[in-house]
Chains A and B, each alone.
Chain A
Amino acid sequence: MLQRETSLGARLWAILVWGLVGFFILNLLGMIASVVVNSVGTRWFTTWLPAGWTVRWYVLAWNEFGLPDILLTTVQVVGAVVLLSGLLGVPAAYAMARRDFPGKRLILLLFLLPLLVPPITYGIPLATVLYQAHLAGTIWGVILANLVPSLPFVVLIMIPFVEQIDPRVEAAARVFGAGTGRLFVQVLVPLLMPGILAAMLLVLVRTVAMFELTFLTSGPTSQTLVVALYYAVFAAGVRPGQSIDAMAVVYMVTTLVWLLIALRFVNPTQIVTRAKR
């Protein structure tokens, strides 16, 4: 174990660094708390806290923003993206982990690029193509666009999980006559379950929060929660700010619940360092 330095300079430096972290977290929590407090307050002008408490902004947001429809769309989009990215991504990850074939590095680059290029950069050409195909504006356009970063994400997360499985298990299944389909259903999927669960949850969280691609490809009937929130903030002044914050709280709860569940299976750093190979 490394010796801690005890000189005055070292202590001051440590205090400074921890002070910085504390200040950052304080502001972060303050930002979140002010949204929550504003969404349940009545009038809030020049005081620390609102004058009274109410839930009527939630009722207003529920009716005015059409939250039931938006939540339904969000569930449909996220569900389809999670399912499809798993169905396409897990087999691809299996092939990438188990076989060395010519052009494998190229395929790996192909899966890395959508994660490295920011969505707004490739989203505009993608939306153009989807509009030409008359898919943009529909829920399918949104699902297809959201699959672009999700599918490679599943592949890159699943490769190490597949590599952990002893190939002798698969060899044994093959010896007993299992084809590739049966091998997947009866051997690989059960063994890969922790990895699949982690990947699916992370895709879920990312898709709920994916603004740019959904924004560029959605129409009035295919908005997800985050896009509806953007339009509400964009048109601030039309509706009371508290009801926008109520919607923001609904969005936060939707995202954070899944994040908490996901964090039971993955390390927080994995959410960021997906591209490290």
Chain B
Amino acid sequence: MNGGPETPPPLEGGDWGEGVVRLVPGTARINPSPPPPPSRGGGGSGPSLRVRLRNRGLDGVTLLVLPGALFVVALFVYPFLYGLVLSFRPKDGGWFLANYATFFADPFLYDTIGKTLAIAVPATLLNVALSVPVAMRVRLMRRQRLLTTILVIPITLGTVLVAEGLLTYLGPRGWVNRVLIEFGLSAHPIRLVHNYWGVMLSLLISGFPFTFLLTLSYVTGIDPSLENAGAMLGARAAERFRRILLPLLVPGLAITLALSFVQAFSVFPSAVLLGAPAGPTRVISIAAYTAAFEQYDYPLASAIAMIMAGVQVLIVVALLAARGLVFRGPASTGKG
């Protein structure tokens, strides 16, 4: 209750007034819907079904959520379950785990997990490690808008354009190699595309802004008075970071890590365009795509998609569980 001195008296016995409206801070608790019509017919001892449903928050307005929710069920939940079931029905018949057995027996297939992790894990860690100090610095800036606008560009342009841009920029005739040669750092162009490094650099270009903006939103959510108190008590910047900010930041960092990892793990266009899709950057999404749209083996493709989702869930759950081990102070949402 937002304890005003005078709460309005409940209307009409008050059997529909409470618990229906979601409270908006600073507004009076008034039900936006009209009072229910008096129940017709005899009896009238208890509230009608409509009134009872409304007491639980179910009325005509609640039904507005249904079209959207049903759409997501039909085109997100159902395909996922369908894919799960399909993955247990191998194309050529046989054992229900045959697709998974195929995946884990063929090094060309199961190696993709290791190759994807070898790209995604360093990229994620590097992005987060770079984001934290930069966010710490940027939060003190008064005009952050220009920087955040520049950084949102690569996210908006998407991975395909970043891949095409890097092909030109990092290519043998691109400006990067031009600089290296002109300044005598290298005698001949360095190969930066169509290999592991091309994919890694594309994950940095499109991943760092994402990680940074996410980190920044968590950093600015920490109440600055906590740090001021630390400073007043004589803690230096490094100490304030380690003992005050970092513990408050850990829950947000865990989510940032999880989201950036999941993004990096599902790298697809840049692994094809900038990497060596037959060799070191044959990531798991390429394997799933090849199975589905080149071999037309949808059950195997579904199995690979499920394995991909499984690895992602495993890492995310591990990260969020690790977050629970660290102190979670109530002050982490100081900004409100």
Contacts and interface: CB of A to CB of B under 8 A. Distances in A.
Interface stretch (A63-71, A88-96, A191-199): A88-96
Contact of B63 (A95, A127, A234, A244): A95
Contacts of B156: 205, 209, 255-256, 259, 271
Given A92-B64, A121-B309, A174-B32, A244 B164 contact: yes
A110 B72 contact: yes
B281 interface: no
Contacts of B308: 120-121
Interface in A206-241: 209-212, 215-216, 226, 229-230, 233-234, 236, 241
Contact of A245 (B168, B205, B288): B168
Given A117-B309, A121-B312, A163 B22 contact: yes
Contacts of A3: 231
A100 B19 contact: yes
A89 B65 CA distance: 8
Given A101-B62, A234-B273, A46 B173 contact: yes
A34 B224 contact: no
Given A95-B63, A120-B285, A171-B32, A268 B152 contact: yes
Contacts of A46: 173
Contact of B302 (A34, A125, A272): A125
Interface stretch (B42-50, B77-85, B90-98): B77-85
Nearest to A144: B75
Interface residues of B, number: 110
A226 B158 contact: yes
Interface stretch (A23-31, A54-62, A73-81): A23-31
A10 B237 contact: yes
Contact of A126 (B76, B255, B263): B76
21 contacts: A2-B228, A30-B169, A89-B68, A94-B64, A99-B58, A99-B59, A118-B262, A118-B263, A124-B305, A125-B79, A125-B305, A148-B72, A163-B22, A167-B32, A229-B161, A230-B273, A234-B273, A259-B156, A273-B213, A273-B214, A275-B259
Interface of B: 19-22, 24, 27-28, 30-34, 56-65, 67-69, 71-73, 75-80, 82-84, 86, 130, 133-134, 136-137, 140, 145, 147-169, 173-176, 178, 205, 208-210, 213-214, 216-217, 224, 227-228, 231, 236-237, 255, 259, 262-263, 265-266, 268-269, 272-273, 285, 288-289, 292-293, 298, 301-302, 304-305, 308-309, 312
Interface of A: 2-5, 10, 13-14, 17-18, 20-21, 24-25, 27-28, 30-32, 34-35, 38, 44-46, 48, 88-89, 91-92, 94-102, 104, 107, 110-111, 113-114, 116-122, 124-129, 144-145, 147-148, 151-152, 155, 163-164, 166-168, 170-171, 174-175, 180, 205, 209-212, 215-216, 226, 229-230, 233-234, 236, 241, 244-245, 248, 251-252, 255-256, 259, 263, 267-269, 271-273, 275-276
User: Which 8 residue pairs across A and B have the least CB separation, nearest first?
Assistant: A125-B83, A92-B68, A118-B266, A101-B57, A91-B64, A209-B158, A268-B148, A95-B65
